[in-house]
Amino acid sequence: MKKLLFISKNLEMGGMEKALVTLVNTLVKDYDITLILEDKKGILLNDLDSRINIEIYKLANSKNVFIRKFKNLIHKTFWKLKNKNKYDFSCNYATYSLIGAYLAKVASSNNSLYVHNDYYELFKHNNNYFKDFFASLKVEDFKHIIFVSNEGKESFDKIYPDLKYKTCVINNLVDYSNIKKLSTHPINFKLNKDKTSFLFVGRLDNKQKNLVRMINSFHLAIKRNKNLVLYLIGNGPDKKLCEKLIKKYKLEKNIFLLGEIKNPYPYFNKCDCFLLTSDYEGYPVVLVEALVLNKQIISTIKTSDQEIDLSDYIIRIPFIEKEIAEVLTTFKKEKIDYKIDFKKINEKRINKLIKVIENN
């Protein structure tokens, strides 16, 4: 059985982390998988298949720069002696992890970098920042560069045309059967049927998710229609910012911060529409999860998928708060059955990755 290595930061709740768990749990049926984490923490640890080997690569955190660098150098040297080309395939799954990039290239000549974001958008179209980021990872030394979205690959190919032969798109797998199962779990959560309810699930990070835009837009919509409610599931650095805006606009009876919830899927079922007002995304797994549960979606994000034309299912909105408010105010509840064959879609995606793993 071939040996595969995946490296990531941790297994805290997040789209990238959920996608990783789904991926390795699928592959472990046919491969011997080791997962290296920089920090063994996160509520998704319990979701890993028991057959997956978990190892920890802890970076030194001494305040003394010399001591920290010396310890990390010794650790890297011994790790290299023990694991040089030990694996048939290796993957730095957390794109931004410098140590993950190093370990993946040491562990196998058949190595890969997973790219989970459109970094050209993240760096506000600044070519120098973009190049500095990928230079720090020594991206040219990877054999494969895997993108989870067409947009991410297209941006990269424009700036690194000489590496285009290494790039490919493999959209994230969808754990559709488990999502449907989890969505039926009972929860102590009641909705007023007379109100239209919107749901956001994700990291409370205004830099990417633009939660200020979401709350400002909702504030404008509430002025015209009092029967709107918004629930936000997640945690992050801008939780206090959200609380401050909710208090400022006196929206305590319309916007609710529910915190981090491991199983958000029953909330999808109970709410009328999923709302996303991000400036940019890589491949927003949460949008596909909303499709699995037949939810209407309002989103600022134009995201393409290799197998699903998301534009067919999403109410696209501009980055303009007044126009978003108009869409929220006039939104009509509707029962939907998308009839998307997620089993077939997953098979296509895993087969693409297997070709990379088998070096075909």
User: Considering the entire predicted model, what is its pTM?
Assistant: 0.90
Rounded to whole angstroms, the Cα distance separating 216 from 218 reads: 5
Whether residue 22 is found in the same domain as residue 114: yes
CA dist list (Å): 312 to 291, 323, 338, 348: 11, 20, 10, 20
Of 81-90, 140-149, 246-255, 306-315, the least confident: 306-315
In total, how many domains does the chain have?
2
For residues 194 and 256, the model is more confident at 256
**pLDDT tens column, 143-198:** 999 999 988 999 999 999 999 999 999 999 999 999 999 999 999 888 878 899 99
Whether residue 329 is found in the same domain as residue 351: no
Q: Which residue, among 33, 30, 26, has the nearest Cα to 51 in the 3D structure? A: 33
Which residue range(s) make up the domain with 77?
3-174+344-357
Q: How many CB atoms lie within 10 A of CB 186?
A: 6
Provide the 3-class DSSP secondary structure of residue 89.
strand
Whether residue 16 is found in the same domain as residue 101: yes
Please check the confidence at residue 282 and state whether its pLDDT lies above 80.
Answer: no
Q: How sure is the predictor about 360, in pLDDT bands with cuts at 50, 70 and 90?
A: low
Whether residue 9 is found in the same domain as residue 146: yes
Whether residue 181 is found in the same domain as residue 162: no
